[in-house]
């Protein structure tokens, strides 16, 4: 998979993909992440990429020209499955979208900043508008990093243990159960006996019960989805 990210602040995206799973995925050739500085595409002599908004009001708007030129260049080189604009007024990201995108060839992510991009960029190029939750970030860069991480880890071959993504919270609408590692007792705190029983079926049943209770307590909305899915099966 190839992911192109367009941003005014490329430095914000240097860190997140340089380590751990994202780094491994790129080294193994399973994901290619290209970061483009929108300012580099500006034809203005001061490389300007934003301007005051028509109609007045505080905050700058990202101008059309550098973004359009960058997108046109990339589109002339390959076909994009989705051109995603990161914005707090987009649809909320969820695991289903991440699963879908993990099977795509080429994704383009456009990070909004200030008051966002000129509406005409959205009208002409954007196929999907996505937010990562109901709170406001200074820009779309951290949201882009969240999307790339959550999508790339799902690409087959990226995770060591192929089954481990399956037991993530949200994958089946249940939150993940508690986990423990050595030592079995720390400062008087013991792990649940069942985990030392060696009885795998009972351990799985215990994990399911823990997941179910935690979901009922913290996310009744998810539990409804889970119960509906169970009914269908
Ligand atoms: Cl995608 N962008 C910004 N600026 N704020 C956000 C967001 C995106 N998602 C949640 N908050």
Quote the ligand 1 centre to 6 CA distance (angstroms).
15
pTM of this structure: 0.93
As a whole number of angstroms, the distance between CA 63 and CA 70 comes to 12
Confidence of residue 139 (pLDDT cuts 50, 70, 90): very high
Quote the ligand 1 centre to 135 CA distance (angstroms).
7
Residue 114: pLDDT above 90? no
Looking from the CA of residue 143, the nearest atom of ligand 1 is 1
For 2-152, CATH gives: 3.40.1280.10
Identify the CA nearest to 206 among candidates 177, 229, 226.
Answer: 177
Structure tokens, 130: 């996505």
Confidence of residue 170 (pLDDT cuts 50, 70, 90): confident
Q: Which of 5, 12, 87 to mutate to test the pocket of ligand 1 (most atoms within 8 A of CB)?
A: 87
Looking from the CA of residue 131, the nearest atom of ligand 1 is 9
The pLDDT score that the predictor gives to residue 100 is: 97
As a whole number of angstroms, the distance between CA 191 and CA 183 comes to 9
93 touches ligand 1 (CB under 6 Å) = no
Quote the ligand 1 centre to 195 CA distance (angstroms).
40
For 9-52, what is each residue's pLDDT tens digit?
999 999 999 999 999 999 999 999 999 999 999 999 999 999 99
Residue 162: pLDDT above 60? no
Confidence of residue 163 (pLDDT cuts 50, 70, 90): low
**Looking at the DSSP assignment, which residues form a beta bridge with residue 92?**
131
As a whole number of angstroms, the distance between CA 85 and CA 6 comes to 10
Residue 161: pLDDT above 90? no
Identify the CA nearest to 110 among candidates 150, 83, 146.
Answer: 83
As a whole number of angstroms, the distance between CA 195 and CA 187 comes to 19
Average pLDDT, the chain: 95
Task: Say if residues 53 and 59 touch (Cβ distance below 8 Å).
Answer: yes
The pLDDT score that the predictor gives to residue 229 is: 86
Q: How many residues are present in the chain?
A: 233
For 202-223, what is each residue's pLDDT tens digit?
999 999 999 999 999 999 999 9
7 touches ligand 1 (CB under 6 Å) = no
Task: Say if residues 30 and 39 touch (Cβ distance below 8 Å).
Answer: no
For 58-106, what is each residue's pLDDT tens digit?
999 999 999 999 999 999 999 999 999 999 999 999 999 999 999 999 9
The residues spanned by each domain of the chain are 2-152, 167-232
CB count in 10 Å sphere of residue 74: 18
Of the chain, the percentage scoring pLDDT greater than 70 comes to: 98
147 touches ligand 1 (CB under 6 Å) = no
Task: Say if residues 142 and 133 touch (Cβ distance below 8 Å).
Answer: no
Architecture of domain 167-232: Orthogonal Bundle (1.10)
């Amino acid at each position: 998979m190839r992911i192109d990210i367009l941003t005014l602040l490329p430095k914000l995206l240097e860190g997140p993909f340089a380590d751990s799973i994202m780094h491994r995925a790129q080294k193994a050739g399973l994901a290619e992440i290209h970061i483009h500085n929108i300012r580099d595409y500006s034809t203005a002599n001061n490389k300007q990429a934003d301007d005051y908004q028509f109609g007045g009001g505080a905050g700058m708007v990202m101008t059309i020209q550098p973004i359009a030129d960058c997108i046109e260049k990339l589109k002339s080189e390959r076909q994009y499955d989705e051109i995603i604009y990161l914005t707090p007024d987009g649809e909320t990201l969820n695991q289903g979208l991440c699963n879908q995108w993990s099977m795509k060839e080429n994704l383009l992510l456009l990070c909004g900043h200030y008051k966002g991009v000129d509406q005409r960029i959205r009208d002409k190029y954007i196929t999907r508008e996505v937010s990562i939750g109901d709170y406001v970030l200074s820009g779309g860069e951290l949201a882009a990093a969240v999307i790339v991480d959550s999508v790339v880890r799902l690409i087959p071959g990226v995770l060591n243990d192929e089954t481990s993504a399956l037991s993530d919270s949200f994958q089946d609408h249940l939150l993940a159960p508690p986990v423990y590692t050595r030592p079995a007792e720390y400062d008087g705190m013991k792990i649940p006996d069942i985990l030392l029983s060696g009885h795998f079926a009972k351990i799985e049943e215990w994990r399911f019960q823990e997941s179910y209770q935690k979901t009922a307590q913290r996310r009744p909305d998810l539990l409804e989805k889970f119960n509906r899915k169970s009914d269908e099966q």
